[in-house]
Every structure is written in structure tokens, then in C-alpha cells.
Amino acid sequence: MEETSVRALELISLCQFSPGLDMVDNFTEVFLCRNFEIQGMFQYNEAEILGLEWIDIDDCLRMVAEKVIQDGNTIIGIALAKNYMLTNGFSGYK
């Protein structure tokens, strides 16, 4: 909500993990949002965010394969979201 003005309404927990970093206790939980609402205009700090756009999940997977997306937490989230969508009959879900 803070970064995008999008409020998640229905969250599905996909996994919980700890990256196992030696110096940081960084427990992480990944969620898939099935329903959301936009809370006003998108306003952001240009020092933190370049912009906002919706990207199809298959384009995200392509971006992972092309090494455009390299963040491990993001890659885990994309893979788990795609798997959940395939195994639970989501169609047209982006």
C-alpha cells in the first residue's frame, strides 16, 4: 500500500522461509494477492521508485530467464505464484 497505493484484500500464503544469511535473521513470507483495490493516485519517492506497471506473470518468468530480474526473493515469489496459478486453475490471471 505504501509504495504503490494498492491495497491487498485477499492474500494467499505461498511459503515461509529464511534465506539463511549468516549475519541477518531475515524471516520471509511470500503471498499471492487474489483481490485488491487501488487507493487513489500512485505517488512515489523518485529516489526509491522509477515507476509502476502491471506485468504478466509469463513476462516475469521470461525476465528471470533473461537475468533482468535477479533478486532471489522476487524470483521465489514469481515461481511460487505461477505454480499456484497453474495448480489451482487460474485463467487470465496476471
Higher pLDDT, 20 or 33: 33
Is residue 58 within 8 Å of residue 22, measured between CB atoms?
A: no
The pLDDT value recorded for residue 22 is 65
> What is the arithmetic mean of pLDDT over 27-33?
88
pLDDT at residue number 53: 82
pLDDT band per the 50, 70, 90 thresholds, residue 41: confident
Q: Quickly list DSSP for 2-64.
A: TTTSEEEEEEEEEEEE----SS----EEEEEEEEEEE-S-----TTT--------HHHHHHHH
Q: Looking at residues 37-54, what average pLDDT do you find?
A: 78
pLDDT at 72 over 80: yes
pTM equals 0.75
Q: Which residue, among 83, 82, 79, 84, has the nearest Cα to 69 in the 3D structure?
A: 79
The predicted structure's pLDDT at residue 92: 54
